[in-house]
A = this chain, B = another copy of it.
Amino acid sequence: MKQLRVIPLGGLGEIGKNMTVFEYGDDAIILDTGIMFPEGDHLGVDYIIPDMGYLFEHQNRLKIHGIFITHGHEDHTGAIHHVLEHFDAPVYGTALTCGLIEVKLKQAKMRSAKINVFRAGDTIKAGPFELESFHVCHSIPDGVGFGIRTPVGLIVHTGDFKFDHTPVDNWPPDFARLAAFAKEGVLALLADSTNADRPGWTPSESVIDEAFDRVFRNAQGRILIATFASLISRVEQAGAACLRYGRKMAILGHSMSENIKMAQELGYIDFPDDLIVSLDKALQMDKNKIAFMVTGSQGEPSAVLSKLATKRHSQLEIEPGDTVVVSAHAIPGNENTVSRIINKLFQRGAKVIYDAVEKVHVSGHASQEEMKLMINLVKPKFFVPVHGELRHLHQHAELAISLGIPESNCVVVENGTILEFTKNKMTVGERYPGGYVFVDGAGVGDIGPAVIRDREILANEGFVTVIAQVNKKGELATDPHVISRGFVFIKEAEEIIDGIKDTVRKTLSKSRNGRRQDVVTDAITKYLYQETKRRPMVFAYIIEI
């Protein structure tokens, strides 16, 4: 008997965030193709993509009828070129989502993708699946979830969502369609758990208008607003504030410029022609007549905000009297970096407005009361919390249980776990091993745990390499050569260097057998620990001359 198999993939700590596979027999669809951002201990990793091992293993068997993208954020679109490289399936998204994907594919020099634009509310056939999209609100316009009709029943996937009654684009979520799904009968709901430990209701994006009003009313000098390059609706809100307070707007940051241009072309942003001015023009204007939109709200060192904070921007410099608005919340792991940038901006004399002091950012994800509403609107038989860390999934499952969904009908699973559905049953199947793949420079997947572990030791302790030349009798022929970085400041550590050389000399005089390289390595390691209580990586290389 054929079953529906649902497999959450990717997500670093978060489950089913970046990619989910729906499979019925040999037919499949992929939902989202996002990247993850490396955390502090993923040393040197540029970004992380979902492990497609399962798809590779079943590549010959599976026919992938489509790649469906819920919205245009990186954690849902960013791996699209890695997926298309291996799976030549058509891509489906709303206009803004596809616009952002096309910007991305152009950067990756990938031209042959089959991109299909639909409107929220449209239904798309894909093999044995029928996907009915429904509009949701989130911190980017034109997001959708999907009602996925499968041979075993209707599965509703919310995507990232919040129930915003007064969104920037005046397009509230499609409550009616969710209720209609319930009437049709929903086998399972897969719902966004990100804020499952936040009580209440996430504030509407419209509170930001009020906050911007206060900022624009009080600012005497220039205003700089930092946000995500893809946060199109925030740019719209900033533009509206500029219009209300008679300021022009300049855009700093390549990706933000590109995105705004695209959003204007597609009609998502409707600014008067003269609102946006060039940076050159902006710099000549009266300080109370201009606002700058800048990238780098997560503290990315190469983006504009960080450059401004550390005086590395070639054209713009922070001055006393400037008001800087950080219109974003630090993604977990970035808190420290963002704090430091805020402090540095204060140091340069700016007044900095961030989310702790003014509502210049709100979450794009539902809080507990919205989660309850989603569950009660959709009335699923089975409930699977997704998008969130394990702790959020557990809280979300508890919420569902508190609403009357039987505990046995709620499951918390991890990435790679295969969920099997028949018409009236949900079974937790095997867990497919793997997790995620590191991308570093040109390499996809060649950095594994072993390299990361070595980087960790090097990061904390540094290394010492000693090259010694010995004669046929095994005696030291010349002074050993020491190369070291990250251990001690070698130019001021003559004593240690001499100690290392002494250790090599003494050890060689005692040990002349084949394993002497190891013996010397051990002796140096021990000597260095005794002297410094540190354990750098030690490499001895002995050359017989």
Report if A89 contacts B (CB, 8 A).
no
Report if A312 contacts B (CB, 8 A).
no
- Which one of A114-122, A147-155, A178-186, A482-490 is at the B interface? A482-490
27 contacts between A and B (CB under 8 A): A13-B343, A40-B336, A44-B460, A332-B336, A333-B336, A343-B391, A346-B390, A346-B391, A347-B390, A352-B391, A357-B395, A440-B534, A442-B532, A442-B534, A443-B533, A446-B488, A446-B493, A447-B488, A451-B462, A451-B488, A454-B485, A455-B485, A458-B459, A458-B463, A459-B459, A463-B463, A467-B543
Report if A237 contacts B (CB, 8 A).
no
Selected from B340, B458, B487, B531, the residue in CB contact (under 8 A) with A486 is B458
| A391 and B342 in contact, given A534-B441, A537-B485 (Cβ under 8 angstroms) | yes
Selected from B391, B455, B465, B481, the residue in CB contact (under 8 A) with A462 is B455
A44 touches B395 (CB 8 A): no
Selected from B340, B356, B443, the residue in CB contact (under 8 A) with A197 is B356
| A193 nearest CB across to chain B (Å) | 12
A455 touches B451 (CB 8 A): no
Kindly state the separation between the CA atoms of A332 and B332 in the bound complex, as whole angstroms: 10
Contacts of A533 in B (CB 8 A): 441-443
| A460 and B467 in contact, given A354-B391, A357-B395, A541-B481 (Cβ under 8 angstroms) | no
B446 touches A458 (CB 8 A): no
Contacts of A13 in B (CB 8 A): 339-340, 343
Which interface residue of A13, A451, A533 has the most chain B CB atoms within 10 A? A451
Report if A456 contacts B (CB, 8 A).
yes
Selected from B335, B343, B356, B493, the residue in CB contact (under 8 A) with A390 is B343
Report if A43 contacts B (CB, 8 A).
yes
Q: Count of A residues near B, CB < 8 Å? A: 68
B460 touches A455 (CB 8 A): yes
A454 touches B534 (CB 8 A): no
Contacts of A389 in B (CB 8 A): 339, 342-343
B455 touches A486 (CB 8 A): yes
Selected from B335, B340, B485, B545, the residue in CB contact (under 8 A) with A458 is B485
B347 touches A44 (CB 8 A): no
A443 touches B532 (CB 8 A): yes
Report if A265 contacts B (CB, 8 A).
no
B451 touches A486 (CB 8 A): yes
| A460 nearest CB across to chain B (Å) | 3
Report if A1 contacts B (CB, 8 A).
no
> Which chain A residues numbered 416 to 463 have a C-beta less than 8 Å away from chain B?
440-443, 446-448, 450-451, 454-463
Kindly state the separation between the CA atoms of A455 and B450 in the bound complex, as whole angstroms: 18
Kindly state the separation between the CA atoms of A44 and B304 in the bound complex, as whole angstroms: 29
Report if A198 contacts B (CB, 8 A).
yes
Report if A469 contacts B (CB, 8 A).
yes
B541 touches A543 (CB 8 A): no
Report if A92 contacts B (CB, 8 A).
no
